[in-house]
Amino acid sequence: MQKVENPESISTVKKGSLSNLFSFFGRQEPISEYSEQFARSQEKLSQTIERSDYISRDLSWLQFNFRVLDQARNPSRTLFERLKFLAITASNLDEFYSIRVGSLYNYLDFGKERIDYSGLREVPFRKTLLSAIQQFDDLQQDCFSSQLIPIFEDNGLKLAKFEDLNEKEQKKAIEYFDRTIYPMLTPMLFDHTHTFPVLLAKVLIFGVITQQDGASKAGDDEDNQKLSFVQIPQNLPRFVVFERKDLVVFISIEEIIRYEIRKLYRNVDIKAISLFRITRNGDFTVEESDDIEIDFIDEIRQKIKNRRLGRVVRVEIEPNAPEWMLHLLKKRWEIDAHNIVEAERMIDFTSLWQIVRHPEFKASTPPVPASVPAFGVEAGKIADIFETIKEGDILLHHPYNNFEPVIQLLEEAADDPQVLAIKLTIYRLAKRSRITEALLKAAENGKHVSVLFEVKARFDEENNIREAQRLQKAGCFVIHGISRFKTHTKLLQVVRAENQGVVSYSHLASGNYNEDTARLYTDIGLLTADPIYNRDITEFFNVITGHSLPESYQYLITAPRDMRRQLIKLIQAETKNAKLGLPSGICWKINSLEDKAVIDELYRASQAGVPIKLIVRGICCIRPHRKNLSENISVRSIVGDFLEHTRIFYFHHNNNPKLYGGSADVMVRSFDRRIESLFTLANPRVRQQAIHILDYNLRDNVNSYDMQEDGTYARCELGDGREPFNIHQLFYEVSEEEMMKASLFTDD
């Protein structure tokens, strides 16, 4: 089937308004009209951001999700890329409601006090936040209905109503209902003789109002009405697909059920049918036991079950739902109009993944390019992984550099008779993880395998418990997290007996040991045989697996012990240099910036004249460019084809830069409630690579948004005839010579 170009990207562009096409993803530079639309769309959202010196964490996150939505609104992307990003915004919002709005209700429901960074207390903040989210929902629906659906058929697909199907297709749809769907449906009645049913979160549900056949219909007598619910099975595809000559037709399962629903309600009158979906509070904490590990696991399992039954925090529903039903649901779930979201065109955009991944459209989503070898690493499989690491530290920059050397290190260590022990922290794994298989094999081969498996990783708890038990049964020493703390640090150590003695090889990283996300997330990882790193890592493992308390580390900064204090100390050193007239500068690339103590220290550094360049993908509570507060602070966010997950901390240090990588963001939870680590980038070439990564991030003008003083973001524009600079393309093309020239401040 031949696809046409996105007509929107043609019809709305005047001649000469486009830059050169991007060779990587076939991108066109976003036109100025589109950037103006992005700015206008934020106007209502910006009105909700208070004028304090700090940006609200939750409203800042909403601004981030708007930047993701901006990818779906971008007319230079293919339709299927845009559908993908729309699905991502919906998934993001589901988790936000479940966790952040759920957390807010933990305060509201139990009468606890909470003051947002904006200065608002919990009750007015709920109204502010939910109103802002509803504005975002409106933008999602508008993007889908007014920008994407009109170009569906030009790209070979149709989203159909039942009446849009031809006679043959209708017959097949009815047969599918009778054969597969109908046996799985169970109407659940609620009246004075039936208790209110347990409705599952994130499942499409029909609310059906019925009346006994022959009962009085005058004035729609509510005394004769009954309400029942029909949950649509989760284990069936959202869409039924029909192939036509020039179109792939998708009809939603709920559309078929709606057409045939009378088969579930024989001899009664159906007064109204409304489709809705609920989101429940998924935020929970675990009271860990230091003594009985099995109780800890059982408690997590119970909390997972409770998450499925948590209080309702959102109802997405079709327009014009009966007031009688809405009133009943509001009363039952103790919610109000702020928790009700009308979905004008479609409920649950996450199901768009089925369309994006349909084989017919595979060629319409640009492929991820092949990775390139890291500096100091040969192409393909490394001939001798241990000798290569011993030759010098290796910095891997994913996904541009393959994750394979990390896998190779583990797999070869599992088989190598000289390897004595393997130690690893695990937060999230791939579904069919080669990491797990390598560890199982190592245990079978008699290696000592120690794994700190964080079973509290949100929404991965069940998978992590299952994988941890597999390792335990194979003879691995498994620790299910640390009491009161989540283990988020990413560390691997292989201990090997060699001719000159025992040598350790380590990997320190910003990202998870997950080969799937390593192809989609940007991260850094350091492979090293340096004795100082390995001594620190050995000590650190002793801390998190036992009761050791080392006095200090040479190359590690750890949390919850002293990471906040050390970062503040490094900021203060830059402040002191600026006051003395010495060169200074700070540049960080992180996911989130929220800790008030660190923000205040950055404000003081800015006031002393320290230039501060922050690259913060998501939540950012610092307010840049405010007079007499943060005039020397700039913030940018990069949102594009890869999820920016790298953490790098740069301090200019009077022309002798100090750089750190690691797993931690600048958040209260990272400093106080997590086992985290930052690691010094000691090797000069590795340090220069990190400077180059930061430099390219600051030069990007395709995926970047600059934060304004009011908390909103402006798209970076090319302007002045500048060429497009797309880091998601250019990191695949970096030469060592070019990397060595990079700098951030004077005389790096």
**DSSP assignment string, 460-523:** -HHHHHHHHHHHHHTT-EEE--BTTBEE--EEEEEEEEETTEEEEEEEEESS-S-TTGGGTEEE
Q: What is the pLDDT of residue 133?
A: 95
pLDDT of 162 strictly over 80: yes
400, 430 contact by CB (below 8 A): no
DSSP labels, 190-206: EBTTBPPP-PPTT--EE
Instruction: Give me the helices (H) in 97-166, please.
Output: 102-109, 122-142
321, 276 contact by CB (below 8 A): yes
Name the residue with tokens 């039952």.
332
Phi and psi at 409, nearest 5°, equal -60, -45
Number of Cβ atoms within 10 Å of the Cβ of 586: 24
Q: Could you give the CA distance from residue 449 to residue 426 in angstroms, rounded to a whole number?
A: 13
pLDDT of 495 strictly over 60: yes
Top mean-pLDDT range of 42-46, 342-346, 648-652, 674-678:
648-652
- C-alpha to C-alpha distances, 35 to 31, 136, 638, 725, nearest whole angstrom: 7, 17, 15, 17
Q: Tell me whether domains 57-290+303-351 and 385-551 share a fold.
A: no
32, 717 contact by CB (below 8 A): yes
Nearest CA to 279 among 239, 317, 246, 226?
317
Nearest CA to 567 among 413, 575, 333?
575
pLDDT of 11 strictly over 80: no
Q: Could you give the CA distance from residue 103 to residue 127 in angstroms, rounded to a whole number?
A: 15
Q: What does the pLDDT average to over 709-735?
A: 89
DSSP 622: B
281, 105 contact by CB (below 8 A): yes
Q: What does the pLDDT average to over 265-284?
A: 92
CB-neighbour burial class of residue 609 (10 A; exposed 0-12, middle 13-18, buried 19+): middle
pLDDT of 33 strictly over 70: no
Q: Which two tokens mark 373?
A: 């070898």
Average pLDDT in the chain: 88
641, 84 contact by CB (below 8 A): no
Q: Could you give the CA distance from residue 79 to residue 8 in angstroms, rounded to a whole number?
A: 10
Hey, where are the domains in the chain? 57-290+303-351, 385-551, 557-741
Sign of the CA dihedral with 294 first, then 299, 305, and 307 last: negative
Bond from prior residue into 399 cis (ω within 30 degrees of 0): yes
Segment 58-94, tens digit of pLDDT? 999 999 999 999 999 999 999 999 999 999 999 999 9
Q: Could you give the CA distance from residue 650 to residue 109 in angstroms, rounded to a whole number?
A: 43
Question: Which one has a higher pLDDT value, 38 or 604?
Answer: 604
Phi and psi at 186, nearest 5°, equal -135, 105
Q: Could you give the CA distance from residue 584 to residue 577 in angstroms, rounded to a whole number?
A: 6
DSSP 74: -
Secondary structure class of 697 (helix, strand, coil): helix
Q: What's the CATH code, domain 57-290+303-351?
A: 3.30.1840.10
Taking each helix axis from N to C terminus, what angle separates 563-579 and 596-607, rounded to the nearest 10 degrees? 10
Segment 321-344, tens digit of pLDDT? 999 999 999 999 999 999 999 999
Q: Could you give the CA distance from residue 488 to residue 510 in angstroms, rounded to a whole number?
A: 10
Q: What are the residues facing 479 on neighbouring strands?
A: 452
pLDDT of 28 strictly over 50: no
pLDDT of 19 strictly over 60: no
Q: Which two tokens mark 594?
A: 């929220």
Q: What is the pLDDT of residue 289?
A: 37
Q: Could you give the CA distance from residue 53 to residue 117 in angstroms, rounded to a whole number?
A: 8
- What Rg do the C-alpha atoms of the chain give, in angstroms? 28
Q: Could you give the CA distance from residue 65 to residue 705 in angstroms, rounded to a whole number?
A: 13
Nearest CA to 207 among 110, 337, 287, 322?
322
- Active-site position among 488, 645, 652, 728: 488
Point out the least confidently predicted range of 330-334, 381-385, 411-415, 738-742: 381-385
Q: What is the pLDDT of residue 484?
A: 77
Q: What is the pLDDT of residue 180?
A: 97
Residue 718 pLDDT class (50, 70, 90 cuts)? confident
Question: Which one has a higher pLDDT value, 283 or 160?
Answer: 160
CB-neighbour burial class of residue 672 (10 A; exposed 0-12, middle 13-18, buried 19+): middle
Q: Could you give the CA distance from residue 176 to residue 166 in angstroms, rounded to a whole number?
A: 15
Segment 545-557, tens digit of pLDDT? 776 676 789 999 9
Asked if 488 is an active-site residue, the reply is yes
Q: What are the residues facing 157 on neighbouring strands?
A: 248
Q: Which two tokens mark 282?
A: 């998924």
Residue 717 pLDDT class (50, 70, 90 cuts)? confident
AA letter at 439: L
Q: What is the pLDDT of residue 222?
A: 66
pTM: predicted TM-score of the whole model, two decimal places: 0.90
pLDDT of 17 strictly over 80: no
Q: What are the residues facing 704 on neighbouring strands?
A: 638
Q: What does the pLDDT average to over 144-163?
A: 96
Q: What are the residues facing 487 on neighbouring strands?
A: 675
Q: Could you give the CA distance from residue 480 to residue 355 in angstroms, rounded to a whole number?
A: 38
Q: What is the pLDDT of residue 426?
A: 87
Torsion of CA 228, 232, 235, 240, to 10 degrees: 160
Within 13 Å of residue 705, how many CA atoms lie on the same side as its CB? 27
Segment 594-608, tens digit of pLDDT? 999 999 999 999 999
Q: What is the pLDDT of residue 176?
A: 98
Q: Could you give the CA distance from residue 275 to residue 584 in angstroms, rounded to a whole number?
A: 58
517, 406 contact by CB (below 8 A): no
pLDDT of 536 strictly over 50: yes
Q: What are the residues facing 705 on neighbouring strands?
A: 637, 715
Q: What's the CATH code, domain 385-551?
A: 3.30.870.10
Domain 557-741 has CATH 1.10.1040.10: no
pLDDT of 114 strictly over 80: yes
Q: What is the pLDDT of residue 5?
A: 36
Name the residue with tokens 């966790």.
99
Q: What does the pLDDT average to over 531-535?
A: 97
Q: What does the pLDDT average to over 617-622?
A: 97
Name the residue with tokens 């997330």.
521
Q: What is the pLDDT of residue 722?
A: 80
Point out the least confidently predicted range of 141-145, 227-231, 597-601, 744-748: 744-748
Q: What is the pLDDT of residue 31?
A: 46
Q: Which two tokens mark 228?
A: 């029942």
Q: What is the pLDDT of residue 466?
A: 79
Bond from prior residue into 560 cis (ω within 30 degrees of 0): yes
Report the helix count and the strand count for the chain, using DSSP H and E.
23, 27
Q: Could you give the CA distance from residue 152 to residue 155 in angstroms, rounded to a whole number?
A: 5
Q: Could you give the CA distance from residue 14 to residue 37 in angstroms, rounded to a whole number?
A: 16
